[in-house]
Structures are given as structure tokens and as C-alpha cells.
């Protein structure tokens, strides 16, 4: 074998060894990256769970000022998500409204107990204070870059708006009201009227369903009324299960 061939073979062997070392190093880098990525997603998942847990506890704090020891927010979350799904929303949207809707009344933290728990009718001045809870809630939640908190802020501000423009705080009408606010409005209406309050007893389901039908185009959009009534049996069964088990 000529000297040139020997030199060429040696170069080839050297290149192959270098490539093997490079491939091995790349494999190490890929493995290290996978480990770091795994830890990153674990940390993100834990942070996300801690974040949502904190928001839920804050929502429960507002409900403890009211009746029903916070179970209202559990029912609200599931009912709102059920309506959203039946209304054709994506799985991501349904999950967001499931997480965001419990914060709909978080602004009640700023309303005095003397008003929240009053057994008689509220005066005009007391109603004015009570209605501020939607704005209080928005002020607490606004400005976040977290999608679930962004939606929660919208819900807090708009879930007392009405389709015909007669709601509060801004008298929005029709599609001016975010869909999440419209969905929570009808879910809150049903759940609130079918549960006992300090100032009244719960209404029968059929009566409340009739009230919702009568509010078509007034309090609620016609399309959402149709959606709600189409799954009302499912919603009632879901509510009864949550009441019985105190779980979702």
C-alpha cells in the first residue's frame, strides 16, 4: 500500500473517531436538554397549579362572606363549562371558563356584610354599593398576562350585564358583552335562584327554567337560552351531584 493510501486511511479513521465523539457529545447534549426541559415543565406545572389554587382560595374567601359556604363557586364552574361546551366552544375555552368562573363574585370582598347578609330588601344606596362588586372584582383581577385571569377579569366586570342593555355596570348590550360574561350570567342566574339565601328560599327548578325562557332576548341572548335549555337536565343532575358530594 502506498504512503498516500496509508495517510488517507489514517485521515478517514481520524474523521470517523471525531464524528463518533461528536455524535456522542450531541447525544449527551440532547439528554441534558431533555432533562432540563422535563424539569422546566414540571416547574411550570407546579407553578400553574399553585397559581390556580391561590385564585380558587381567593374566590372561596369572597363566597364565605355570602351563603352556601363556597359550594356556589363549584357549581358555577361546572355549569359554565357545560354551557360553553354545549355552545360549541373549544376544549381550551371550556377549561378556561371552568377555572375563571369561580372568580365572578370576587369583588364581594369589598361589600360590607351588613349589605351582603341583609334579610330585608336593600335600599337604593345599598343596591348601589352592592353593584360595585363587579367593578371591585375587575380592579382586583385586571392587567394580568395570564389567560385565565384575563378571562376572570372580563367575567367579574360583565356577568351582570344584560343582553338588552339594561344591566350594569356599563349597560352593554348584545355582542358588546363578552361570551364568557354571558355564559356566567345565565349560569349564575340559575344557580342563585335554585339555592337557599338568607333572604329567600330556593325556587323550584321548573320555575327558574321558565324564568330563563322568559328572559330570552332580554336578560340573556336567545342562542344561549336555547343552549342552556337543551342541556338543563344535565345541569340539574350536575348540581345535585355537587350538592350531595361537595365535589366536582
Confidence of residue 118 (pLDDT cuts 50, 70, 90): confident
Positive or negative: CA dihedral 160, 203, 103, 152: negative
Is the pLDDT at 22 greater than 60? The verdict is: no
pTM of the full structure: 0.75
Q: Domain range holding 160?
A: 3-245
At 220 the three-state DSSP class reads strand
Q: Which of 3-7, 109-113, 150-154, 197-201 has the lowest mean pLDDT?
A: 3-7
116 close to 145: Cβ distance less than 8 angstroms = no
Catalytic residue among 78, 85, 108, 162, which? 108
Q: Quick one: pLDDT at residue 120?
A: 81
Closest CA to 98 of 154, 157, 180, 185: 180
Is the pLDDT at 210 greater than 90? The verdict is: yes
Is residue 108 annotated as part of the catalytic site, yes or no?
yes
In angstroms, the CA 124 to CA 171 distance is 18
Query: Which carries the bigger pLDDT value, residue 116 or residue 237?
Result: 237
Beta carbons within 8 Å of 211's beta carbon, 6+ residues apart: 189, 193, 203
Q: Count CA atoms within 13 Å of residue 92 on its CB side.
A: 1
The rounded mean pLDDT for the chain is: 81
Q: E-assigned strands of the chain?
A: none
Confidence of residue 108 (pLDDT cuts 50, 70, 90): confident
The per-residue pLDDT for range 62-87, each reduced to its tens digit, is 555 555 546 788 898 999 999 999 99
Q: Quick one: pLDDT at residue 85?
A: 98
Return phi, psi of residue 216, to 5°.
Answer: -60, 125
CATH number, domain containing residue 129: 1.10.3210.10
What does each C-alpha distance from 92 to 126, 148, 228 come to in angstroms?
39, 11, 20
Looking at the structure of the chain, the number of domains it has is 1
Is the pLDDT at 44 greater than 50? The verdict is: no
At 200 the three-state DSSP class reads strand
Amino acid at each position: 500500500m502506498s504512503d498516500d493510501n496509508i495517510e488517507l486511511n489514517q485521515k478517514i479513521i481520524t474523521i470517523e473517531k471525531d464524528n463518533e465523539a461528536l455524535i456522542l457529545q450531541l447525544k449527551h447534549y440532547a439528554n441534558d436538554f431533555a432533562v432540563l426541559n422535563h424539569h422546566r415543565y414540571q416547574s411550570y406545572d407546579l407553578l400553574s397549579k399553585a397559581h390556580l389554587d391561590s385564585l380558587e382560595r381567593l374566590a372561596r374567601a369572597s363566597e364565605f362572606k355570602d351563603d352556601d359556604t363556597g359550594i356556589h363557586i363549584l357549581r358555577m364552574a361546572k355549569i359554565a363549562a357545560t354551557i360553553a361546551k354545549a355552545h360549541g366552544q373549544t376544549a381550551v375555552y371550556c377549561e378556561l371558563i371552568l377555572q375563571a368562573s369561580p372568580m365572578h363574585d370576587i369583588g364581594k370582598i369589598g361589600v360590607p356584610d351588613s349589605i351582603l347578609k341583609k334579610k330585608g330588601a336593600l335600599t337604593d344606596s345599598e343596591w348601589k354599593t352592592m353593584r360595585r362588586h363587579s367593578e371591585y372584582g375587575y380592579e382586583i383581577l385586571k392587567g394580568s398576562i395570564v389567560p385565565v385571569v384575563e378571562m376572570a377579569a372580563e367575567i367579574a366586570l360583565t356577568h351582570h350585564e344584560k343582553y338588552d342593555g339594561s344591566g350594569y355596570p356599563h349597560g352593554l348590550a348584545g355582542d358588546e358583552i363578552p361570551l364568557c360574561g354571558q355564559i356566567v350570567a345565565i349560569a349564575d342566574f340559575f344557580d342563585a335562584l335554585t339555592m337557599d339565601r338568607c333572604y329567600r328560599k330556593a325556587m323550584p327548578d321548573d320555575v327558574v327554567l321558565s324564568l330563563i325562557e322568559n328572559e330570552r332576548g332580554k336578560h340573556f341572548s336567545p342562542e344561549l337560552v336555547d343552549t342552556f335549555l337543551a342541556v338543563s337536565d344535565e345541569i340539574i343532575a350536575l348540581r345535585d351531584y355537587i350538592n350531595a358530594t361537595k365535589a366536582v
